[in-house]
Amino acid sequence: MSYKSNYILDKLPQHLKQYIKPQNYEEYTPINQAVWRYVMRKNVDYLSKVAHKSYVDGLRKTGIAIDHIPNMYGMNRILKDIGWAAVAVDGFIPPSAFMEFQAYNILVIASDIRQLEHIEYTPAPDIIHEGAGHAPIIANPEYAEYLRRFGEIGSKAISSRKDYELYEAVRHLSIIKEAEGTPQELITKAEKKIEDLQQNMGEPSEMALIRNLHWWTVEYGLIGTLENPKIYGAGLLSSIGESAWCMTDKVKKLPYSIEAVHTSFDITQPQPQLFVTPDFAYLNQVLEEFANTMALRKGGLSGLEKLVESKELGTVELSTGIQISGKFDNTIAHEGKPIYFSTKGKTALSYRGKELIGHGTRHYPKGFGSPVGKLKGINIAIEDMSPRDLKAYNIYEGETVLLEFVGGVTISGEIITGTRNLKGEIILITFSNCTVKYQDQILFHPAQGLYNMAVGQTIDSVFNGPADLSSFDLITHTISDTTIKSTPTKWRLQLEELYRQVREYRERKNTNISRNKVFQELVNNHPDDWLLSVELYELAKNNGDHAFADRIVNHLEKVKRNKPKVGRLIDDGLELVDKNLVI
């Protein structure tokens, strides 16, 4: 994929670029284009009445056309004017990566498009959902900032191992459910796995909770009043079925609040309730309220324990600003406060998001551990000691000391040097011939070499991911499933050719095509297809050929009798034509 069309894409770190794939625009079939056109025509007709006012304006501002699937290159040329960009991905990507893209003002677009059989709704992310749902609303500056801020905070949320299992299961279901010809027993089995996982998730992680907020706002949010809400959530904007369903009294409308974080959702079913925010500013208010509950801001023992339990790469930031990034495996507590922590495997030390020289993963390939807190019997913390205080307590280069911390961790050894932050506070003390103990447990012994002790009275922040992205090789993601591309049958190729001919006639690329001949072939060989008949009906009406239009309507009545589920889709398509909708 070329990044020249939008400077914003240049700022993406390499570990996010691993998810990007080419859009391969030429792979969209004539049926794909017809599906896009039907959904968008219906959306503009209906959503202009029930969507937030930013939606229709946003379609124009973001380069989303009605008659053809948007090309990512064209979108990027337009999106850069509002400070955003778009990239194509293969279906669902891990939630933390999805959030991080948002933090960089990047709209993630699953470039595949739903099958005609799933035209109203698909659990799989597709270009209708992302391009026609998310993109138009980000043209609203206030909402765009909410989306960016959500990504910034959400990417720091700590996940659990079960979160990743659920993500993989949902991704698998979305792929097989959208794939042509998947046996129902496989879909049922995949749905059962998700149900079992959801019922056994245990205490929800931060990522699970913030994903609820994302769902009930970005995906399925309403705005305005309970009596007269408008749609702004992309899941509703891109679902011609659920956008109508959600406006009925059958869907309960609730005032949006922090309580939405505890309301779970099922992506395979219509939502029984939706939340209504009074305005976009209130979304940020609730987001900040939730962020105040996260380890990112609370730190402490609870945050450290979340990181240990997650077994994922994360960061602990101490009160001096020193940051320790790695996979945390142990914590020792005293009276509800952490007094020691350690990592296992590659670890890096940073300050304000920048790795400390000489303290990367090469220096700590097997892990890192340090006490945290005050020294026993001394009221002033090490970081607050003046040079005179440090000398008085023998915390000085060349001195051999025994430091005993509140809670019982002791460090004995010779001080080699100290590393200070920009404020002049000591953030790291290096010892030789050092022993670190907790009660009778040896945590570090002299044979391990020099010992570096991180200085900090408290753990102020704990979050997902490394402090410095360059400290670790993050290009490690492997996808267990990829979207399934079935080889089209001869029958399918023949149908695609009919769609192509009608499209070329409508676009005046080939006006020598016999529409009557196309229709007759459709009736003879593809009697259950309905969308092409609707397109032919549009051409007949536009050309004033009422006899031909009547023949098409009679055929569609037969299709409705044979396939009652598509009856409303047919009626809506004919109604759009009869309104003489001008786009």
Question: CB-based burial of residue 366 (10 Å sphere; 0-12 exposed, 13-18 middle, 19+ buried)?
Answer: exposed
Distance CA 96, CA 19 (A): 12
> What pLDDT tens digit does each residue of the chain (583 aa) get?
444 456 888 888 989 988 888 888 999 999 999 999 999 898 888 888 899 999 888 887 887 888 999 888 888 888 888 889 989 888 788 888 999 999 999 988 888 888 888 888 776 778 888 778 888 888 899 999 999 999 999 999 999 877 777 777 777 777 777 677 778 888 888 878 877 777 777 788 999 999 999 999 999 999 999 999 999 998 898 887 788 889 999 999 999 999 999 998 877 678 899 999 999 999 999 999 999 999 999 999 999 999 999 999 999 999 999 999 999 999 999 999 999 999 999 999 999 999 999 999 999 999 999 999 999 999 999 999 988 999 999 999 999 999 999 999 999 999 999 998 888 889 999 999 999 999 999 999 999 999 999 999 999 999 999 999 999 998 865 555 556 566 778 998 999 999 999 999 999 998 889 999 999 999 999 999 999 999 999 999 999 999 999 999 999 999 999 999 999 999 999 999 988 644 3
CATH number of 312-471: 3.40.50.11030, 2.60.40.10, 2.30.30.100, 3.40.50.1980? 2.30.30.100
At 244 the pLDDT is 86
Domain range annotation of the chain = 7-288, 312-471, 490-578
Distance CA 424, CA 389 (A): 14
Is residue 456 within 8 Å of residue 383, measured between CB atoms? yes
DSSP 3-state of 61? helix
Handedness of CA 549, 570, 232, 175 (dihedral sign): negative
Is residue 64 within 8 Å of residue 70, measured between CB atoms? yes
pLDDT 10s digits, 277-301: 999 999 999 999 999 999 999 999 9
Residue 105 makes CB contacts below 8 A (sequence gap 6+) with: 8, 83, 84, 85, 144, 148
| Architecture of the CATH domain 7-288 | Orthogonal Bundle (1.10)
Residue 442 makes CB contacts below 8 A (sequence gap 6+) with: 435, 436
